[in-house]
Amino acid sequence: MDTPDKGATGTGDGAERGAGRRGRGGRQGSPSTVRRAAPEGDGSEAESRTLAERLAAAMADSIVSGEFTPGTRLDEHSLARRYAVSRTPVREALRQVAASGLIETRPRRGAVVASVTPAGLEALFGAMAEMEATCARLCAIGMTPLERRRFQALHESMAALVELGEPDAYDAANREFHLALYAGCHNPVLQDIATGLRRRLAPFRRAQFRNPGRLPLSWREHDAVVQAVLSGNAAAAHATMLHHVSLVEDAFGAFAAGVERRPAHRPADAPAG
């Protein structure tokens, strides 16, 4: 299988923030998507945790896409009906989404969709860019031979997902790609900070893979980082990763403008506050 053209240029994780567009396979955060992906099953703790994670991703996608607008009250009963699940995984999912800053808890109102400002996103992505660039630089210096082989293999395997046009699968692999960089820097403090920032930005980074043509661009940008890391070029690894993530700012400007132009509406199952 031919890998994506390495010579092309693109907008990087910068579309790692061109959020808000619908992708293949149905509307983001739809009840049917969650039910197909995560039936409640036998109610085991591990299965319930997995369901909560998928519910959290669906809720976050609905917020990022503008389906759940700022100020919307997210009621456990209504969400349980919407996704055809019990309240237990919904409660855990709300806790996870709250940790990302997309919802907040207000007195007498409960969970409410928070307002995410462009300045706030810019600050988060700026910090993320610096953290990941530092991790990439340290990986070029200190990754073990085994870590380098696994890192390269993961990157090459993602080319197949680009060819198939699988944004959800690519997003999962992309997460592993970046986590491998955090681990490969061999600095647990940096790893912890970078992981926390990534968790807060995950819904925005995930949404960009719905943009037409984004997958091959992401892969090519990753390829520049991989080549720098594998060759031991610390300066190039830092620069290419900084470029990859810092392009997010422009794409999120487009995302914010798109959400503002979209007519405000409230999901049928989320009661007004």
pLDDT tens-digit map of 244-269: 987 656 655 555 555 555 555 454 44
pLDDT in tens, 20-45: 333 333 344 555 445 444 444 444 44
Contact 68, 20 (CB under 8 A): no
Report pLDDT digits (tens) over 174-208.
999 999 999 999 999 999 999 999 988 888 888 78
What pLDDT score was predicted for residue 196? 92
Residue 231: the pLDDT is 98
Q: CA-to-CA distance for 183 and 60, rounded, in angstroms?
A: 26
In this structure, the number of other CB atoms found within 10 A of the CB of residue 44 comes to 9
> pLDDT value at position 182?
98
- CA-to-CA distance for 169 and 161, rounded, in angstroms? 7
End-to-end alpha-carbon separation of the chain, Å?
52
Q: What is the pLDDT of residues 120-151, one digit of tens each?
A: 888 888 999 999 999 999 999 999 999 999 99
Could you give the domains of the chain? 12-17+118-256 (1.20.120.530), 31-64+71-114 (1.10.10.10)
pTM above 0.85, yes or no: no
